Amino acid sequence: MKEILAIVRMKKTGATKRALIEAGVAGFTAVKVSGRGKLVHDNAVIMPCKEKLMQMAPNDVIDEQESEEQIVTFLDDTRMFPRRLFTILAHDEDVPRIVDAIIRVNRTERGAGDGKIFVTPVADAVRVRTGESGDAAIW
């Protein structure tokens, strides 16, 4: 028995939920979290994001310099980002199928920020309603 923890972009929540259901996952939990990943130093990744955000900045509310400062702190990983954390319990043989489904709907061409998946062993699980334990408790 394994626990799969998947951290994904907030706007990928619906697609991830559908992919898990299509992959045959019996149940899962999703919670809002915030965090940050590894610092991206590649200007080829950062500059297109910066340019797009600068175009979206409300210049009539704050000046361009202040907008740029806010965008740079957003892009240099000094801020925490909102994400969704999915927790799934699965039989060992189902893990590859579930992980592949999560990757398929969350991979982008942005080069950063697509998320992380952790797979850990689970010693036991108990279904509260029936008292069933082990594999019977997760499906």
Q: Residue 25: what pLDDT?
A: 93
What's the pLDDT at 18?
A: 96
pLDDT value at position 41? 66
The reported pTM is 0.74
- Whether residue 1 is predicted with pLDDT greater than 90 in this model: the reply is yes
Q: Mean pLDDT over residues 83-92, rounded?
A: 95
Q: Write the pLDDT tens digit of every residue in 88-136.
A: 999 999 999 999 999 999 988 765 678 999 999 999 999 999 999 988 8
pLDDT in tens, 35-80: 877 666 666 766 676 677 667 666 655 667 766 666 666 666 666 7
The stretch 17-35 carries a mean pLDDT of 93
* Domain boundaries along the sequence of the chain: 1-36+82-139, 39-79
Which DSSP helix (H) or strand (E) runs through 50?
Answer: helix 43-56
Q: Any idea which fold 1-36+82-139 has?
A: Alpha-Beta Plaits (3.30.70)
Own/partner contacts of 38-45, CB < 8 Å, gap of 24 or more, are 38/77, 39/76, 39/77, 40/75, 40/77, 40/111, 40/112, 42/111, 44/111, 45/110, 45/111, 45/112
